């Protein structure tokens, strides 16, 4: 028998989940029977059943006494999941809109605070794969001319994130070059990604070894990702540097590696 608590992730409370599970096992039940079988206080059971009806999980029958029957979970739970996804998507959009609005309102305050020379004003320190992934994608989407990328295992971005990261510049026809560490060739999944990206227009070359992960966007900003040297699960800290001199120096290093790298043949 399914644990009623597993249904709470769809938006039911504990009493609703218990009542719905009990109703599934009988053609119909009276409220008193639901209360007894689901261990719901008698004074609460009508509210619980009414909530299940409003959520499309059961039907009320005008018998004497009144009875309730469950709706097929293949229908009811799918509809409930779709409604929950719609709510989460709306909340995500509202959160993003709020963040964008507040960022615009707070930008002048931040700019005014940069009146004095601050050596850290050009540096963003990012920790954790989620923050790094979101910042990397934003930089890729903002690039206007070119992206130079140094890629080596282990990967920070997921498959979907990698595809978005590559698609953002390639879809706009930017000059996009990527140097891969030779270890990438040995990874069957990563090699498959490389072939797909190459088919999309990514210019790929392979070198025996890369010292670090790096992405240079135009001549404006570079994102350097550094792996924690400690053992265990790989963790990364990334630094985004908004300084044309640093970007130029790292692009010179990229060009040197590029000239001595071998083309990827897919």
Tens-place pLDDT, residues 50-63 = 999 998 899 998 88
Round to whole Å and give the CA distance between 72 and 60: 14
Name the phi and psi angles at 205, rounded to 5. Answer: -135, 160
Which tokens sit at 238?
Answer: 């990334």
Q: What angle do CA 83, 1, 29 make, to 5 degrees?
A: 75
Assess whether the region 1-108 and the region 122-263 belong to the same CATH fold: no
pLDDT band at 92 (very low <50, low <70, confident <90, very high): confident
- Domain ranges within the chain, ordered by starting residue: 1-108, 122-263
Does domain 122-263 fall under CATH 3.50.30.40? My reply is no
User: What does the alpha-carbon distance between residue 65 and residue 69 come to, in Å, rounded to a whole number?
Assistant: 13
Q: Evaluate if residue 237 carries a pLDDT over 60.
A: yes
Q: What is the mean pLDDT of residues 127-146?
A: 85
Q: 39 pLDDT exceeds 90?
A: yes
Whether the per-residue pLDDT at 34 is higher than 90: the answer is yes
Please report which confidence band the pLDDT of residue 215 belongs to, taking 50, 70 and 90 as the band edges.
Answer: very high
Given this model, what pLDDT does residue 229 score?
Answer: 59
Question: Is the pLDDT confidence value at 230 over 80?
Answer: no
Q: Who's near 12: CB < 8 A, 6+ residues apart?
A: 20, 55, 57
Q: What is the pLDDT of residues 98-122, one digit of tens each?
A: 888 888 888 777 667 655 555 556 8
Phi then psi dihedrals of residue 96, to 5 deg: -65, -40
Q: 8-12, 157-161, 174-178, 230-234: which range is least confident on average?
A: 230-234
Percent of the chain with pLDDT over 90: 34
Cα separations (Å) of 69 from 10, 50, 89, 142, 266?
Answer: 20, 12, 31, 55, 59
What pLDDT sits at residue 103?
82
Burial (CB count <10 Å: 0-12, 13-18, 19+), residue 239 = middle
What pTM was computed for the model? 0.58
Q: What mean pLDDT is reported for the chain?
A: 85
Question: Are the C-beta atoms of residues 170 and 200 closer than 8 Å to each other?
Answer: yes
CA atoms within 13 A of residue 14's CA, in its CB half-sphere:
3
| β-bridge partners, 178 | 149, 204
Residue 232 has pLDDT above 80, yes or no: no
pLDDT at 171 over 60: yes
pLDDT band at residue 258 under the 50/70/90 scheme:
very high
Q: Can you tell me whether residue 12 is helix, strand or coil?
A: coil
Instruction: Give residue 234's pLDDT.
Output: 60
Q: How large is the average pLDDT for residues 225-232?
A: 66
pLDDT at residue 32 in the model: 93
Which residues are CB-neighbours of 199 under 8 A, at least 6 positions away? 266
CATH number of this structure's domain 1-108, picked from the four choices 3.40.50.1460, 1.10.10.10, 1.10.540.10, 3.50.50.60 = 1.10.10.10
The pLDDT, as a whole number, for residue 120 is: 53
């Amino acid at each position: 028998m399914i644990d009623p608590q597993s249904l709470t992730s769809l938006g039911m409370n504990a009493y609703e989940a218990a009542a719905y599970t009990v109703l599934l096992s009988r053609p119909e039940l009276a409220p008193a029977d639901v209360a007894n079988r689901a261990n719901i206080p008698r004074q609460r059971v009508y509210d619980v059943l009414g909530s299940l009806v409003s959520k499309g999980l059961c039907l009320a029958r005008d018998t004497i006494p009144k009875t309730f029957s469950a709706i097929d979970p293949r229908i009811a739970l799918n509809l409930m999941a779709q409604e929950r996804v719609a709510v989460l998507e709306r909340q995500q959009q509202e959160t993003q809109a709020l963040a964008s609005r507040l960022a615009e309102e707070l930008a002048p305050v931040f700019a005014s605070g940069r009146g004095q020379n601050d050596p850290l004003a050009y540096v963003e320190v990012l920790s954790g794969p989620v923050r790094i992934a979101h910042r990397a994608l934003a930089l890729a989407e903002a690039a206007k001319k070119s992206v130079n990328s140094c890629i080596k295992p282990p990967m920070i971005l997921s498959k979907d994130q990698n595809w978005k990261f590559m698609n953002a510049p390639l879809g706009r026809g930017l000059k996009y070059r990527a140097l891969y560490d030779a270890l990438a060739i040995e990874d069957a999944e990563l090699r498959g990604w490389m072939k797909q990206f190459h088919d999309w227009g990514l210019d790929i070359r392979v070198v025996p070894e890369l010292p670090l992960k790096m992405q240079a966007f135009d001549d404006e900003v570079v994102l350097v990702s550094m792996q924690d040297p400690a053992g265990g699960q790989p963790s990364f800290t990334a630094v985004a540097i908004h300084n044309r001199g640093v970007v130029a120096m790292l692009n010179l290093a990229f060009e040197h590696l590029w000239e001595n790298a071998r083309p990827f043949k897919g």
